[in-house]
Amino acid sequence: MELLLILVLGLLYAGGVYFILRRSMVKLLLGIMLLGSATNILIFVLGAIVKGKPPIIDAAANVMDPSYADPVPQALILTAIVISFALTAFAIVLLKRVYALVETDDLDNLNTPEEEDI
């Protein structure tokens, strides 16, 4: 299971970097979303995957048993998902507004000023 997640992680990072290097604003946003998802999976894999055991530990236990999943990475991932959803919604609204003003999604057209006739 971990090997499959590591392969998916590599594919998501590669796809995210590929999309970020494109000239389109929409592809840039997709690349950032892929990198965020890959980072969430990385945190999940580093938090140790344990099948069939909830991340709830008995209150009487002094030491965490290794058969239980660590709840901190799961909480971090849930928080990251909520934040990335909000940022993605905000970025979509910004992209729509920029496209309405400039009428293109090419990033090179945003950086160069328009030349005036002399």
Owner of token pair 């998802």: 37
Q: What is the pTM of this model?
A: 0.79
Question: Mind listing the pLDDT tens digit for each residue in 42-83?
Answer: 988 887 777 776 666 677 777 766 667 777 888 899 999 999
For 6, the token pair is: 């590591």
- Does residue 95 surpass a pLDDT of 90? yes
Task: Walk me through the domains of the chain, giving residue ranges and CATH numbers.
Answer: 2-52+65-106 (1.10.287.3510)
Which residues are bridge partners to 24 per DSSP? 106
**Closest Cα partner for 93 from 101, 22, 31, 35?**
101
